[in-house]
A and B are shown apart, each in its own frame.
Chain A
Amino acid sequence: MRFSHFVLRRWLYSVLVLFGLSILIFIIARMLPGNPARLALGPFALQEQVEHLQHLMGMDKPLPLQYWTYITGIFRGDFGLSFQTRRNVALDIAHYLPATVELVLIAIVWVLVLGVPLGVLAARYKDSWPDNLVRVMAFIGVAVPPFVVGLVLQLIFSYLLGILPTTGRLSLTTPAPPLRTGLLLLDSLIEGDFSALGDALKHIILPSFAIAMTGIGQIARLTRASMSDVANQDYIEASRGFGIPNRVIAFKYMLKPASIPPLTILGLTFASELSNAFLVETVFAWPGIAKYGIRAILRKDFNAVMGVVLIIGLAFVIVNLIVDILAGYVDPRIRIKHEEGE
């Protein structure tokens, strides 16, 4: 089958998996011992009020029907009501999502800008001190819990050096640019508001780096391994034999095949960044969807939890799709294997 068909099939399957996920979480959520309606209204509410809310939320209907109502609601854009904010969870998500998106995007920039060059450096000076240094750094990056990274960064840069702010996306004294995409950096750029841009940048550096630490470690190690793998290949030897200079071999003939394994784990890196976001957003009081999700979990706000879970699942699917396409583009072997009907 053709490569594009393959990708499409993968995507459809992922959507199916998302459905499975929604069923799983739905069941878990609804199976809670105790009464969510009562939890929402508090212990002093009257029994009739609790029952009324239960009826409103449709909790007196059989489980499969509840699920059906919920799913069809999703497609209409109705994610149910949040207990905390009393409004459609979809609106909540739209409100909080851009902050996390911005954070994760900048984190990916960190990963590419630091992780890949470090890996290349380590491969180039294999077994001597730059290699060992990078390997140690990668190990540390993967082993440190992200919230610890966040706290340490705060300690150093905010408390000790005082050059970067501790929490939030913007200082209280800086007015926010008008809301267009929700991405502060982009919005302030569009508006030409450079003081807001600078302030937003200062706020985003630390949390995005904390999120990126794991990914930097992973990518650096994989780049190093794959570069040194490629360096041992026959075709590199052959290129040397044909008289191609080392510089060209390194930056063209080794880099391209070596970039394929890191590319394929980009999906995993994104996953680790998302999960790190849950920890880091708490440390930096970042008003993103992860923080919203944590609050929802602690307060048993089920519609909110479902909404967050589904959005993250969807984000995952989209990222994996992009990674698949990119990988097929860079590595013709993947494309061709599928076109031959593997």
Chain B
Amino acid sequence: MSTRPSYHQATVRLNERRWMGIKDRLGRGWYKFRRNPISLAGGVMVLLFVLLAILAPYVTPYPKHAGAFTDFQNAFQAPSKSHWFGTDALGCDVFTRIIFGSRISFMLAAVVLGISVPVGVFLGLISGYMGGKTETVIMRVTDVFLSLPALVMALAICAAFTPSIDKAMLAVASIWWTWHCRLVNGITRSIKTEEFVQASKVLGASPLRIIFKDILPNCASPLIVKITLDAGFVILVGAGLSFLGLGAQPPAEDLGTMISFGAKYLPERWWMTVFPSLAIFFIILGFNLLGDGLRDVLAVEEGV
């Protein structure tokens, strides 16, 4: 009989098996993802839009039209060969502005999630693991932030500032961490009592190690799904804020702002509203489909 394996050895073996498990799950997951038309469509959509947004200056016909540019002679032109989506009230090419506008949306999603996910996950891990008063305090705070629907809360916070895109981003980010915090807290709490965590404790692992090696990987799948779906939702809320005049201000090329601006000219000059609407719809739809597909693939339950 060999001597009791060290914690390191035991962890290596456990991790090996975990890795095999993950590889198998990934393989199976990729198979499902490929066969599932929904997730595939979503993935393609998102990829396409992101690529377009990144390459914006190179793929748009009138890159200078983004931002403050006026050409009143060409204003209000219907869709044509030279302007695929027509021109707006200032004479700018709608197609170009949409592509550049999607940049703002993606940036919003990236900034908001980039801030709220680490903060939320961190707080969630701590509150879930330590329990007791820490958990109570953190959870109560999330309760307050979640007592209103996201958009309403963001609106209320925006009330304190002059409307601008970065204030809007901050407002949304300051709410969003709560959902991730809640999610991670829930998972941590349920895993905390599982046997493999107890095993790690017995083998002498420090709390930090437990958190990162045992608990965090289990949060990975639900988090990935949630982040993907959140991207779509954040863009939705952001568009709503801009539409109401609280986000990007005209003449910025944000999609929500474009729609609100163009709505005044309905129904005759429909292209100023319809095309940005379609764009934002497909972006959000793409993220939703992708997120849903990932949920199937990574076998996460509904309700995330």
Interface residues of A (CB under 8 A from B): 14, 17-18, 20-21, 24-25, 28-29, 31-33, 135, 139-140, 142-148, 151-152, 154-155, 159-160, 222, 225, 271-272, 274-275, 278-279, 282-283, 293-294, 296-298, 300, 302, 305, 309, 312-313, 316-317
The residue that B239 contacts in the complex, of A145, A152, A272, A282, with Cβ under 8 A, is A145
Q: Is B123 an interface residue (CB 8 A)?
A: no
- CA–CA, A327 to B228, complex, Å? 30
Most chain B CB atoms below 10 A, which of A33, A148, A151: A148
With A145-B284, A148-B280, A222-B302 as known contacts, state yes or no: A28 contacts B160, CB within 8 Å. Answer: yes
The residue that B147 contacts in the complex, of A31, A144, A316, with Cβ under 8 A, is A316
The residue that B285 contacts in the complex, of A20, A139, A155, with Cβ under 8 A, is A139
- CA–CA, A143 to B281, complex, Å? 6
Measured between beta carbons, the chain B residues less than 8 angstroms from A317 are: 147
30 A–B contact pairs at CB < 8 A? Answer: A17-B140, A17-B143, A17-B144, A24-B144, A24-B145, A25-B156, A28-B156, A28-B160, A29-B159, A139-B38, A143-B236, A143-B281, A143-B285, A144-B284, A145-B280, A145-B284, A147-B243, A151-B273, A152-B277, A159-B267, A275-B150, A275-B151, A275-B152, A278-B155, A282-B243, A293-B155, A297-B159, A300-B159, A316-B147, A316-B148
- CA–CA, A88 to B130, complex, Å? 46
Most chain A CB atoms below 10 A, which of B152, B270, B280, B284: B152
Contact call B155/A139, Cβ cutoff below 8 A: no
Measured between beta carbons, the chain B residues less than 8 angstroms from A225 are: 302
With A147-B259, A151-B273 as known contacts, state yes or no: A139 contacts B161, CB within 8 Å. Answer: no
Measured between beta carbons, the chain B residues less than 8 angstroms from A20 are: 140-141, 143-144, 147
Measured between beta carbons, the chain A residues less than 8 angstroms from B144 are: 17, 20-21, 24
- CA–CA, A28 to B273, complex, Å? 34
CB distance from A147 to the nearest CB of B (A): 5
Q: Is B149 an interface residue (CB 8 A)?
A: yes
Contact call A155/B155, Cβ cutoff below 8 A: no
> Chain B interface mostly helix, strand, loop or mixed?
helix
CB distance from B69 to the nearest CB of A (A): 25
Contact call A21/B232, Cβ cutoff below 8 A: no
CB distance from B272 to the nearest CB of A (A): 11
With both beta carbons as reference points, the residue of chain A lying nearest to B286 in the complex is identified as: A143
The residue that B240 contacts in the complex, of A24, A33, A147, A296, with Cβ under 8 A, is A147
Measured between beta carbons, the chain A residues less than 8 angstroms from B243 are: 145, 147, 279, 282
- CA–CA, A279 to B158, complex, Å? 15
- CA–CA, A293 to B158, complex, Å? 12
With both beta carbons as reference points, the residue of chain B lying nearest to A300 in the complex is identified as: B159
With A139-B285, A140-B285, A148-B281 as known contacts, state yes or no: A271 contacts B159, CB within 8 Å. Answer: no
- CA–CA, A18 to B148, complex, Å? 10
- CA–CA, A140 to B266, complex, Å? 23
Q: Is B245 an interface residue (CB 8 A)?
A: yes
- CA–CA, A231 to B104, complex, Å? 45
Measured between beta carbons, the chain B residues less than 8 angstroms from A144 are: 281, 284
- CA–CA, A218 to B276, complex, Å? 24
Known: A155-B267, A160-B267. 11 other contacts (CB 8 A): A20-B143, A33-B161, A140-B281, A143-B281, A151-B273, A151-B277, A152-B277, A278-B152, A278-B155, A297-B159, A312-B148
CB distance from A37 to the nearest CB of B (A): 15
Measured between beta carbons, the chain A residues less than 8 angstroms from B12 are: none
With both beta carbons as reference points, the residue of chain A lying nearest to B243 in the complex is identified as: A147
Q: Is B89 an interface residue (CB 8 A)?
A: no
Interface residues on B, range: 35 or more
Q: Is B288 an interface residue (CB 8 A)?
A: yes
Contact call A145/B159, Cβ cutoff below 8 A: no
Measured between beta carbons, the chain B residues less than 8 angstroms from A159 are: 266-267
Contact call B160/A32, Cβ cutoff below 8 A: yes
Contact call A154/B266, Cβ cutoff below 8 A: yes
Contact call B150/A302, Cβ cutoff below 8 A: no
Measured between beta carbons, the chain B residues less than 8 angstroms from A28 are: 156-157, 159-160
Ranked nearest first, the 3 interchain pairs of A and B with the lowest CB-CB distance are A275-B151, A159-B267, A20-B144
Contact call A282/B244, Cβ cutoff below 8 A: yes
Measured between beta carbons, the chain A residues less than 8 angstroms from B156 are: 25, 28, 297, 305, 309
The residue that A21 contacts in the complex, of B148, B266, B292, with Cβ under 8 A, is B148
Q: Is B263 an interface residue (CB 8 A)?
A: yes
From 272 to 304 in chain B, residues with beta carbon under 8 angstroms from any chain A beta carbon are 273, 277, 280-281, 284-285, 288-289, 292, 302
Q: Is B172 an interface residue (CB 8 A)?
A: no
Interface code B223-239, partner A: CB below 8 Å = 1, 0 otherwise? 00000000010001001
Q: Is B246 an interface residue (CB 8 A)?
A: yes
- CA–CA, A312 to B288, complex, Å? 28
Measured between beta carbons, the chain B residues less than 8 angstroms from A33 are: 161
The residue that A143 contacts in the complex, of B150, B232, B240, B270, with Cβ under 8 A, is B232
- CA–CA, A25 to B151, complex, Å? 14
With both beta carbons as reference points, the residue of chain B lying nearest to A148 in the complex is identified as: B277
CB distance from B194 to the nearest CB of A (A): 20
Interface code B129-153, partner A: CB below 8 Å = 1, 0 otherwise? 0000000000011011101111110
CB distance from A20 to the nearest CB of B (A): 4
Contact call A294/B151, Cβ cutoff below 8 A: no
